[in-house]
Amino acid sequence: MAKVADTYYQIDPWKIIEEGFDPARGRISESIFSLANEYMGVRGYFEEGYSGDRLVGSYINGIYEEQRTPKPPYKGISDRVCFMVNTLDWLSTRLVLDGEVLDLAHSRYENFRRVLDLRHGRLERSFVWCTATGRRLEVGFTRFLSMVRPQMGFQRIVLKPLNFHGRIRVRMGLDFSPLHETAGINFWSCPHKGIAEGIVGILGRTQKSGHKVYAGFRFHGPGVTMNEVPVVGEKYIGVDLDLPLAEGVASHLDKTVFLHAEKRPEKTVDEVWAAGVAAARAHLIMGYEEALALQDEYWQEVWRNSDLVIEGDPANQQGIRYCIFQLHQTYHGTDPSLNIGAKGLTGEAYNGHAFWDTEIYCLPFYLFTNPAAARNLLEFRYRTLPKALERARMLDCEGACYPVATLDGTESCTLWQHASLQLQPTTGVAYGIRHYVNVVGERDFLYQKGA
């Protein structure tokens, strides 16, 4: 699709609104409606499955895979690429009514509406499903990533029959099988999966980096019955649920998910599974309503500190709040081992790499709204200084040479004209340190780490 400045989404000071669904804009909307909480991010794809063009993308910050390129002909050219790897579809849902599977690429539907609520940090979508048998079912999905418990994601499905009574089958699961689209393959194996104490769990391991992710979920819903035998695939585990529906009455089903990431390759799959199960057991006692209340309180404080009001220009008012929202949900300084990828946690473009954009374009926002996060961004550069020193030696230079593109401090750009000729990442780091010290006034950081 051409990049033109047309108006597709509705203008609203606190929301991004899509009225009606245009499949040709599907991928753009998946990016626009992405959610994140620094720890993880998920694109705005349809969780119920969609056979049209889409990218089922879910990412955990700092979880990456690596590939080797052919040995370069010249010294100083990197032959190792690290990239933020697509993880699992933890929202995976299937709805079956009268034998018909909901799929908006084929199903008839009306009144489609999708809303990203910037004030409260959640994504809502609704429509009326019109089945081939004449039944009309109002369907609503809400999801959010907790800003208070960053390892947790929440999903609520609301179903309201408009002209019938009956039952609907819902399959909820965890799916490690989505492809990493850039590479065209899947990088995960799943050595553990099972159900214990009402928690449905699965563990994935990357092929090369040895990173591991445990995922577990519970579901809650009035009157729901579960098939005791789980649905199991090579990289999937799920459960079939039977939900009674009464005409004119809205029924809801909640899914609470916990993701535990382990970046240390020396940790065994058994150790990570045990740690994940124990942590999930402790975290998944939190219900949807409690988590939603905490989410609202968190974003209320963010906007109290960071909001900018533009009078008389509703489009730019919406735009500046969207930018603030994306910056804050992508990074707010909870983990100094992380940085800001060029596309945040919204997709695979730029491989999730941090560039010099962080210090030049992003750092000023945090300097004036969240100085602790600004310091943590610079702490990332301090922690990776040994790798910058090593990179300089590779180029027969003195001092430190920070990478053009990185996830772990090493150079992941294999193009010599960028990685070996562009020196602005290092000057950008110095630029960031200078402004941090001038704005925040923290001389101790300059003397101990910055210099």
Summarize the confidence of residues 235-242 as an average pLDDT: 96
**Residue 72 pLDDT:** 82
> Is it the case that residue 308 has pLDDT exceeding 70?
yes
29 alpha-carbon distance from chain centroid: 15
pLDDT-derived band of residue 151, with 50, 70 and 90 as boundaries? Answer: very high
The per-residue pLDDT of the chain, averaged, comes to: 95
**Under a CB-based contact definition with an 8 Å cutoff, are residues 115 and 16 in contact?**
yes
**Residue 422 pLDDT:** 85
**Residue 412 pLDDT:** 93
Summarize the confidence of residues 96-109 as an average pLDDT: 97
Question: Mind listing the pLDDT tens digit for each residue in 362-416?
Answer: 999 999 999 999 999 999 999 999 999 999 999 999 999 999 999 999 999 988 8
Question: Mind listing the pLDDT tens digit for each residue in 337-376?
Answer: 999 999 999 999 999 999 999 999 999 999 999 999 999 9
Question: Mind listing the pLDDT tens digit for each residue in 29-72?
Answer: 999 999 999 999 999 999 999 999 999 999 999 999 999 888 88
For residue 217, list its beta bridge partners: 200, 257
Q: Rounded CA gap, 284 and 223, in Å?
A: 20
**Under a CB-based contact definition with an 8 Å cutoff, are residues 263 and 63 in contact?**
yes
Sequence-ordered list of residues with C-beta below 8 angstroms from that of 91, at least 6 positions apart, any chain = 42, 45, 47, 58, 143, 153, 155, 255
Tokens 């040995």: give the residue: 71
- Domain range annotation of the chain: 15-287, 324-450
> Is it the case that residue 2 has pLDDT exceeding 80?
no
Amino acid at 68: R
> Is it the case that residue 73 has pLDDT exceeding 90?
no
**Residue 281 pLDDT:** 97
Summarize the confidence of residues 250-258 as an average pLDDT: 97
> Is it the case that residue 152 has pLDDT exceeding 70?
yes
Instruction: Please give the C-alpha separations between residue 335 and each of 62, 88, 377, in angstroms, as whole numbers.
Output: 10, 22, 9
pLDDT-derived band of residue 23, with 50, 70 and 90 as boundaries? Answer: very high
Domain 15-287, what fold?
Answer: Beta-galactosidase; Chain A, domain 5 (2.70.98)
pLDDT-derived band of residue 5, with 50, 70 and 90 as boundaries? Answer: confident
> Is it the case that residue 420 has pLDDT exceeding 90?
no
**Residue 1 pLDDT:** 57
Q: Rounded CA gap, 18 and 88, in Å?
A: 26
pLDDT-derived band of residue 270, with 50, 70 and 90 as boundaries? Answer: very high
- In this prediction the pTM is 0.95
Question: Mind listing the pLDDT tens digit for each residue in 199-225?
Answer: 999 999 999 999 999 999 999 988 888
